[in-house]
């Protein structure tokens, strides 16, 4: 067991708010007791200390503010080239339309060196067929870009030791060993790779030693503390049982195309339980995730949809029913998608589930759900009705008509204009490079979509009003979200199939006020994944969870961002930790980053 | 009273053809779904009218055009789309400006999932001087294609045009409702679905559309009503069960939700299996074995129409297969389509003169039509080819019984029981005929045999009890026998027998109580009133 340590991020913080803990909360009794962990030191007070705020357990009964349909002045600019993000994805370019090529690859934002700036990791494929023995081209690999803090990035892959040269697919980050830095898991077509962060800007590969070197074809993955023992567990969606050697050629109406998922048998997903000693155990059977049939898994999202204090799990499957695993609270799951109304489309049909995300778009304290699907289906928006079941509101929310013509992948709720209501972004792109030969109604590259939350349960397509970054038409796959330039609004990282990645810088989102929280668990897992944060600012009451997974093959900033519209202060901050502890504070300033340590206080880091 | 059992239930025994094709497979990348859909579509869009219109436009080449058009439609029906295209091309050579032919071409492309080409064909049809109906259909199809492709503005435009050209077509209104729904225009969608329902109260899609909107509008009670209306009208569409379950869930009726989800799973499993076969058939649409297996799957869930469609295709692609015609005939019998059944069975006999079961089925059909001579002839033909065919004796027995020739009827049933001595119902029917012929000893034996062969056959107990009571024979056994019949099947008739047994045993109080129970069930039966009167009279006499 490594020592807990305070990272550089905390050292950068300016001021500290200390708060007490509410240990008699309803959630407290649910918490599992974590043993043998050292308490982290409270963050050091550096500048002005603001008043100490008492703890309060408040109700979650604030209603939404009135609808605002005024267009925002936000634009997105693709700053990838200017910022030195020169990543080019390759699927191996076999020219054979191999079955494992079209899923693409993901990437994400994380602060690997704890310097307060989000770095970027991008996943790559490799050649799968030895076509050009004579050439001396470098083998493509995953790439880590260090954020210099001035809007530019430098490639530190070799230095950090994370240039996995497997056939990369997806990734997730989390502090699995509770040592204060973020570790990195990569799914591959082939054995997955797990990098343990050494805390000094380098990583060490521990896949086999940690017991997570699954050789199945992994896609999306996510960390969460499923049994609330203070250690992050890991779920990996797997796609199919396939080998390049046995690749089949699919011809439809005389046209050679990529084969669909039904061509190869699906593979079961994996759930690894963290043993708390730097290793994991395959707990797939014990956790009951194998009580369902093996399906072609693609999207993974954790979230406490039933508000019972533990992390539930949604898995988007390709062309079959999706799964909703309700956490029984004892480290096992029960699959409840059908009766919860989230298995199928609203006509009871399977769809090609790709990406997925939990998020509370109507600020009612219940996590809603969205799923991206194939072209000629729609993306789906499920509204959480009561914590027990969901209503498919795709059409009435205004999502259906627009998304029907797109093939969606990475998807998430995020508040791009800081108005206090989460919007939706979805990355699009076809799977068939020659789709126009069979269907003139669509294209291989497609425009991504941005939906603005109109605060009344509906969304407006604002894609064409939000700048050149959203006008791009590429073959997108993964999408990750984070404020990489620390300017108070959320930027978007997009991975594209056989193309350069895009870094869409948000310009103007910070015209509204905002706040960001980085959470540090003490009894809870150190990353604070699963912590539920409630923010009340004026008439706005918002909820969000610290999430490791979601979207598609990608990971987003673990800091939780809230748009605050024109509110000048935060009336109440309340955090329900996975341990069950509830912390709260009042009267916080806006436009700040805060570091929140479970049971200790919050530190004002950056304006 | 004696229950006169009529074993007049044609029991369909399907013969399964060989699992694999006949060797005359045609390579064609079309799915069975399309074939079935095409049949539905053809019937909906009224190709018959199109054919007539096409012919009317070409008086000089009427017969040729009609022949090509007929064949084209037929190939669409059985999923041989490339052949259908050739026929359409032949029509177009004779009538290059035929909008009807372009419409048919559009259909073929739709079933081949070549939607762009289909849209081109329909749009070309609209540039020609087609009838109002043809233009309506072309617009309707374009609405469907653009809706599928997510081009909803265009879909709405064509859907509206279709409705204005075909205001009486409920299917045009319901499709427009679907387009409006997809566009989020829920009020307009409700109007379109209601119009579809008004035009055709049996249109399940309209109920489903209204249910879907009710769910979207968070009105689960209304959704429940609509889906309860949709399911009986289209019992094999899984979506209605799924949404009914969701509506129950949202109205907090969890147990009902669970029950509907179970039904949904059952129908979905069936549809998944069907899809599995459709995929196979996509690769090999003329594989007779696959069509037969798929028909069997439809039958397992009682989807008789789908099974018949499958055999219709099967007999089209393998017209010389007697077995296919026999099974199609058997399905038509089950559906009550007697004339079609006769045609199919006669075709089977024409192809295979030794197909005893076809002779026998025809005999049964003619017997049910009271064409007794013809029926006897077919049944005897069947027996000539297979003297052990018990069901042929059964048919003969019933014919003679209906003709009042008891001796022959008893002989036929006696033969049946010799061939199938374990057939309890055969013994039961034989006993009933023997009672009628006053051969009481033989009847007692027959009923006893029926009980031996099937101890749970209530009519056998009932009949034997009645006989004992009526003959004053083994009166002590009559009551327990009648009681057993009542336990196995509580009917007024069986209670009547029990009351009669008590009466004959002079247990008037019990007799009166039991006959009163029979009268509670069937108060208008004169016989029961008569027995009650007899019991009351006897009781009065006894008291005196």
Beta strands in B486-544 (DSSP E): none
Task: Grade residue A253 by pLDDT with cuts at 50, 70 and 90.
Answer: confident
Instruction: Tell me if chain B has a CB within 8 Å of the CB of A440.
Output: yes
CB-closest option in A338, A346, A405 to B150: A405
Please tell me the distance from the alpha carbon of residue A234 to that of residue A287, in angstroms, as a whole number.
12
Q: pLDDT tens, B322-358?
A: 999 999 999 999 989 999 999 999 999 999 998 899 9
Res B12: pLDDT: 39
- What mean pLDDT comes out for the span A511-518? 96
Task: Grade residue B45 by pLDDT with cuts at 50, 70 and 90.
Answer: very low
Please tell me the distance from the alpha carbon of residue B444 to that of residue A514, in angstroms, as a whole number.
95
Task: Grade residue A603 by pLDDT with cuts at 50, 70 and 90.
Answer: confident
Instruction: Tell me if chain B has a CB within 8 Å of the CB of A347.
Output: yes
Res A50: pLDDT: 32
Does position A20 have pLDDT exceeding 50, yes or no? no
Q: pLDDT tens, A210-220?
A: 999 999 999 99
Please tell me the distance from the alpha carbon of residue B196 to that of residue B175, in angstroms, as a whole number.
9
Does position A66 have pLDDT exceeding 80, yes or no? no
Q: Which of helix, strand or coil describes residue A410?
A: strand
DSSP secondary structure of A331-359 = S-EEE-HHHHT-SS-TTS--EE---EEEE
Please tell me the distance from the alpha carbon of residue A334 to that of residue A328, in angstroms, as a whole number.
7
Q: In the predicted model, what is the mean pLDDT of chain A?
A: 87
Cβ contacts (< 8 Å) between B245 and chain A: which residues? 339
Contacts of A391 (CB under 8 A, 6+ apart): A341, A382, A383, A385, B215, B218, B250
For chain B, state the CA radius of gyration: 30
Cβ contacts (< 8 Å) between A349 and chain B: which residues? 239
Q: How far is CA A563 from CA A359, A407, A569, A593, B136, in A?
A: 14, 29, 12, 12, 52
Contacts of B116 (CB under 8 A, 6+ apart): A439, A440, A441
CB-closest option in A252, A348, A441 to B149: A441
Cβ contacts (< 8 Å) between A375 and chain B: which residues? 150
Contact between A441 and B151 using a beta-carbon 8 Å cutoff: yes
Cβ contacts (< 8 Å) between A396 and chain B: which residues? 184, 186, 216-217
- What mean pLDDT comes out for the span B375-383? 94
Q: Look at A120-124, A185-189, B21-25 and tell me which has the smallest mean pLDDT.
A: B21-25
Contacting A residues, span 366-405, partner chain B, CB-CB under 8 Å:
375-376, 385, 389, 391-393, 395-396, 398, 400-401, 404-405
Task: Grade residue A401 by pLDDT with cuts at 50, 70 and 90.
Answer: very high
Q: pLDDT tens, A339-356?
A: 999 999 988 899 999 999
Res B3: pLDDT: 54
Disruptive mutation site among A251, A348, A400 for chain B (greatest number of B CBs within 10 Å): A348
- What mean pLDDT comes out for the span A499-504? 97
Q: How far is B86 from chain A (nearest CA, A)?
A: 17
- What mean pLDDT comes out for the span A106-133? 90
Contact between A395 and B184 using a beta-carbon 8 Å cutoff: yes
CB-closest option in A389, A400, A440 to B249: A389
CB-closest option in B150, B183, B216 to A376: B150
Q: pLDDT tens, A91-108?
A: 998 889 999 999 999 999
Contact between B268 and A348 using a beta-carbon 8 Å cutoff: yes
Query: Looking at chain A, which residue has its C-alpha nearest residue B283?
Result: A252
CB-closest option in A253, A348, A376 to B148: A376
Does position A132 have pLDDT exceeding 60, yes or no? no
Res A439: pLDDT: 85
Q: pLDDT tens, B97-121?
A: 889 899 999 999 988 888 999 999 9
Contact between B150 and A404 using a beta-carbon 8 Å cutoff: yes
Disruptive mutation site among A295, A441, A446, A454 for chain B (greatest number of B CBs within 10 Å): A441
Contact between B181 and A375 using a beta-carbon 8 Å cutoff: no
Q: pLDDT tens, A464-479?
A: 999 999 999 999 999 9
Q: How far is B196 from chain A (nearest CA, A)?
A: 19
Res A19: pLDDT: 55
CB-closest option in A391, A393, A401 to B250: A391
Does position B47 have pLDDT exceeding 80, yes or no? no
Does position A52 have pLDDT exceeding 60, yes or no? no
Contact between A348 and B242 using a beta-carbon 8 Å cutoff: yes
Q: Look at A56-70, A74-88, B529-543 and tell me which has the smallest mean pLDDT.
A: A56-70
Cβ contacts (< 8 Å) between A338 and chain B: which residues? 261, 264-265
Q: How far is A396 from chain B (nearest CA, A)?
A: 6
Does position A65 have pLDDT exceeding 60, yes or no? no
Q: What percentage of chain B has pLDDT greater than the value 70?
A: 89
Res B17: pLDDT: 40
Q: Cβ of B455: how many Cβ atoms within 10 Å?
A: 12
Q: pLDDT tens, B438-464?
A: 999 999 999 999 999 999 999 999 999
Q: What percentage of chain B has pLDDT greater than the value 90?
A: 74
The answer to whether the beta carbons of residues A342 and A370 sit under 8 Å apart is: no
Res B28: pLDDT: 28
- What mean pLDDT comes out for the span A399-419? 95
| Cβ-based burial of B329 (10 A; exposed 0-12, middle 13-18, buried ≥19) | buried
Q: pLDDT tens, A183-203?
A: 999 999 999 999 999 999 999
Tokens 């708060």: give the residue: A19
Cβ contacts (< 8 Å) between A376 and chain B: which residues? 148-150
Task: Grade residue A423 by pLDDT with cuts at 50, 70 and 90.
Answer: very high
Contacting A residues, span 130-159, partner chain B, CB-CB under 8 Å:
none
Stronger pLDDT, B301 or B17, i.e. the higher one:
B301
Q: pLDDT tens, A137-160?
A: 678 899 999 999 999 999 999 999
Cβ contacts (< 8 Å) between A441 and chain B: which residues? 115-116, 149-151
Q: Is the Cα torsion angle B39, B45, B48, B53 positive or negative in sign?
A: negative
Q: pLDDT tens, B472-490?
A: 989 999 999 999 999 999 9
Res A43: pLDDT: 33
Cβ contacts (< 8 Å) between A347 and chain B: which residues? 212, 239, 242-243
Contact between B249 and A346 using a beta-carbon 8 Å cutoff: no
Task: Grade residue B539 by pLDDT with cuts at 50, 70 and 90.
Answer: confident
Does position A74 have pLDDT exceeding 80, yes or no? yes
Chain B interface with A: residues with Cβ < 8 Å: 29, 112-116, 148-152, 181-184, 186, 212, 215-218, 238-243, 245-246, 249-250, 257-258, 261, 264-265, 268
Q: What percentage of chain A has pLDDT greater than the value 90?
A: 79
| Cβ-based burial of A308 (10 A; exposed 0-12, middle 13-18, buried ≥19) | middle
Cβ contacts (< 8 Å) between A389 and chain B: which residues? 246, 249-250
- What mean pLDDT comes out for the span B232-252? 94
Q: How far is B9 from chain A (nearest CA, A)?
A: 38
Task: Grade residue B40 by pLDDT with cuts at 50, 70 and 90.
Answer: very low
Instruction: Tell me if chain B has a CB within 8 Å of the CB of A461.
Output: no
Disruptive mutation site among A295, A336, A337, A395 for chain B (greatest number of B CBs within 10 Å): A395
Q: Look at A224-233, B47-56, B155-164, B255-264 and tell me which has the smallest mean pLDDT.
A: B47-56
Does position B387 have pLDDT exceeding 60, yes or no? yes
Tokens 């700036």: give the residue: A117
Q: Is residue B509 within a helix (H) or strand (E), and if so which, with residue range?
A: helix B508-521
């Amino acid at each position: 067991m490594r020592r807990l340590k305070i990272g550089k991020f905390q050292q950068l913080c300016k001021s500290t708010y200390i708060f007490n803990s509410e240990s008699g909360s309803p959630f407290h009794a649910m918490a599992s007791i974590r043993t043998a962990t050292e308490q982290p030191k409270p963050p050091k007070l550096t500048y002005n200390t603001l008043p100490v705020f008492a703890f309060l357990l408040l109700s979650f009964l604030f209603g939404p503010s009135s609808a605002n349909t005024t267009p925002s002045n936000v634009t997105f600019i693709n700053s990838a080239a200017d910022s030195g993000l020169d990543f080019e994805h390759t699927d191996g370019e076999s020219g054979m339309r191999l079955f494992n090529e079209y899923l693409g690859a993901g990437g994400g934002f994380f602060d690997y060196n704890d310097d307060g700036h989000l770095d970027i990791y991008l996943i790559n494929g490799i050649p799968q067929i030895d076509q050009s023995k004579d050439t001396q081209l470098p083998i493509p690999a995953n790439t880590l870009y260090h954020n210099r803090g001035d809007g530019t990035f430098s490639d530190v892959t070799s230095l950090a030791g994370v240039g996995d040269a497997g056939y990369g697919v997806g990734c997730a980050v989390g502090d699995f060993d509770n040592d204060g830095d973020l570790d990195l898991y990569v799914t591959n077509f082939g054995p997955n790779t797990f990098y343990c962060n050494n805390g000094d800007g380098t990583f060490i590969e521990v896949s086999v030693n940690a017991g997570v070197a699954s050789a199945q074809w992994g896609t999306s993955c996510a960390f969460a503390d499923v049994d609330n023992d203070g250690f992050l567990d890991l779920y990996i969606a797997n796609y199919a049982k396939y080998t390049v050697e046995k690749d089949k050629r699919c011809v439809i109406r005389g046209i050679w195309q990529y084969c669909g998922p039904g061509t190869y048998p699906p593979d079961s997903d994996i759930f690894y339980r963290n043993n708390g000693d730097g290793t994991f155990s395959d707990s797939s059977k014990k956790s009951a995730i194998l009580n369902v049939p093996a399906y072609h898994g693609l999207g993974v999202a954790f979230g406490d949809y039933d508000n019972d204090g533990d992390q539930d799990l949604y898995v988007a499957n390709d062309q079959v029913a999706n799964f909703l695993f309700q956490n029984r609270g004892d480290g096992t799951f029960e699959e409840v998608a059908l009766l919860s109304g989230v298995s199928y489309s609203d006509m009871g049909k399977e769809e090609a589930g790709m990406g997925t995300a939990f998020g509370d778009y109507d600020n009612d304290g219940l996590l809603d759900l969205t799923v991206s699907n194939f072209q000629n289906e729609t993306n789906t928006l499920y509204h959480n009705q009561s914590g027990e079941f969901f209503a498919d509101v795709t059409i009435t929310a205004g999502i259906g008509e627009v998304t029907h013509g797109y093939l969606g992948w990475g998807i998430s709720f995020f508040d791009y204009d800081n108005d206090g209501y989460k919007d939706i972004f979805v990355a699009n792109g076809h799977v068939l490079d020659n789709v126009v030969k069979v269907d003139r109604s669509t294209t291989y590259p497609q425009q991504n979509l941005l939906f603005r939350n109109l605060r009344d349960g509906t969304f407006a397509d604002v894609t064409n009003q939000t700048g050149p970054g959203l006008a791009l038409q590429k073959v997108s796959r993964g999408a990750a979200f984070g404020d990489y330039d620390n300017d108070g609004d959320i930027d978007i990282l997009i991975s594209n199939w056989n193309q350069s990645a895009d870094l869409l810088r948000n310009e103007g989102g910070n015209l509204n006020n905002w706040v960001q929280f980085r959470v540090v668990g003490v009894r809870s897992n150190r990353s604070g994944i699963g912590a539920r944060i409630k923010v009340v600012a004026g008439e706005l009451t918002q909820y969000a969870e610290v999430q490791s997974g979601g979207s598609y093959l990608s990971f987003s900033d673990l800091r939780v961002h809230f748009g605050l519209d024109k509110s000048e202060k935060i009336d109440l901050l309340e955090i329900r930790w996975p341990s069950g502890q509830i912390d709260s504070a009042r009267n916080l300033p806006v436009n700040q980053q805060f570091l929140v340590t479970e049971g200790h206080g919050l530190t004002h880091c950056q304006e | 009273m004696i229950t006169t059992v009529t074993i007049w239930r044609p029991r369909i025994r399907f013969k399964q053809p060989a699992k694999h094709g006949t060797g005359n497979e045609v390579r064609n990348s079309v799915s069975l779904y399309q074939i079935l859909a095409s049949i539905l579509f053809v019937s909906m869009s009224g190709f018959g009218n199109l054919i007539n219109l096409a012919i009317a436009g070409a008086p000089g080449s009427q017969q040729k055009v009609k022949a090509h058009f007929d064949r084209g439609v037929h190939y669409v029906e059985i999923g041989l789309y490339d052949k259908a295209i050739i026929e359409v091309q032949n029509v177009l050579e004779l009538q290059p400006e035929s909008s009807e032919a372009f419409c048919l071409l559009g259909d073929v492309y739709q079933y081949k999932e070549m939607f762009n080409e289909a849209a081109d064909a329909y749009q070309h049809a609209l540039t020609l001087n087609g009838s109002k109906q043809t233009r309506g259909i072309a617009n309707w199809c374009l609405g469907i294609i653009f809706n599928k492709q997510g081009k909803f503005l265009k879909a709405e435009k064509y859907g509206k045009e279709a409705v204005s050209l075909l205001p009486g077509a409920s299917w045009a209104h319901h499709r427009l409702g679907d387009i409006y729904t997809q566009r989020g225009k829920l009020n307009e969608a409700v109007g379109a679905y209601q119009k579809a329902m008004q035009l055709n109260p049996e249109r399940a899609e309209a109920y489903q559309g209204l249910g879907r909107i009710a769910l979207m509008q968070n009105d689960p009670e209304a959704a429940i009503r609509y889906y309860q209306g949709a399911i009986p009208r289209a019992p094999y569409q899984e979506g209605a069960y799924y949404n009914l379950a969701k509506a129950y869930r949202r109205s907090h009726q969890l147990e009902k939700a669970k029950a509907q989800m179970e039904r949904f799973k059952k129908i979905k499993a069936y549809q998944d299996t069907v899809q599995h076969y459709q995929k196979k058939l996509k690769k090999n649409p003329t594989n007779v074995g696959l069509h037969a297996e798929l028909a069997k799957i439809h039958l397992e869930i009682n989807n008789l129409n789908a099974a018949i469609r499958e055999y219709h295709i099967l007999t089209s692609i393998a017209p010389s297969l007697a077995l296919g015609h026999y099974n199609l005939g058997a399905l038509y019998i089950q559906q009550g389509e007697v004339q079609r059944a006769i045609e199919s069975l006669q075709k089977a006999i024409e192809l295979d003169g030794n197909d005893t079961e076809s002779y026998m089925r025809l005999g049964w059909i003619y017997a049910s039509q009271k064409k007794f001579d013809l029926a006897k002839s077919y049944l005897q033909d069947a027996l000539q080819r297979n003297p052990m065919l018990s069901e042929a004796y059964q048919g003969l027995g019933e014919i003679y019984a209906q003709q009042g020739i008891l001796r022959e009827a008893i002989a036929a049933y006696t033969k049946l029981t010799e061939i199938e001595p374990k057939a309890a119902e055969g013994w039961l029917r034989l006993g009933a005929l023997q009672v009628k012929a006053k051969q009481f000893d033989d009847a007692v034996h027959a009923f006893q045999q029926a009980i031996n062969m099937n101890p749970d056959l209530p009519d056998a107990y009932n009949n034997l009890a009645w006989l004992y009571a009526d003959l004053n024979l083994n009166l002590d056994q009559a009551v327990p026998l009648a009681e057993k019949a009542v336990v196995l099947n509580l009917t007024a008739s069986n209670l009547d027998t029990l009351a009669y047994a008590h009466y004959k045993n002079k247990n008037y109080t019990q007799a009166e109580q039991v006959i009163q129970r029979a009268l509670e069930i069937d108060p208008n039966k004169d016989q029961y009133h008569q027995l009650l009167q007899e019991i009351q009279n006897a009781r009065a006499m006894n008291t005196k």
